Structure 1
Amino acid sequence: MKKLLLLMVAVLVTVCMNAQFKRAYLQATGLTCAMCSNAINKALQAKPFIQSVKSDIKNSAFDIVFKENADVDIDEIRKAVEDAGFGIGSLKLTANFNELKIANDAHVEIGGRHFHFLSVSDRVLNGEQTITIVDKDFLTAKQFRKFSESTKMKCLLAGKAANCCPGVASGTRIFHATI
Structure 2
Amino acid sequence: MKYLSAYPPALLAQVSELMAADKLGALLRGRYAGLHDIRTDRALYDYACELKGEYMRKAEPLAKAVFDNKLHVVRHALGTHTTIARVQGSKLKTKREIRVASLFKTVPLEWLRMIVVHELAHTREKNHDKPFYALCTHMEPEYHRFEFELRLYLTHLESGGAPLWPAAVGASDTLPAPGSD
TM-score tier after normalising by the smaller chain length: under 0.3
Q: Which of the pair is proportionally richer in helix?
A: 2
Calculate the TM-score normalised by the size of structure 1: 0.27
Q: Which of the pair is proportionally richer in strand?
A: 1
Calculate the TM-score normalised by the size of structure 2: 0.27
Q: More relative contact order in 1 or in 2 (CA 8 Å, sep 6+)?
A: 2
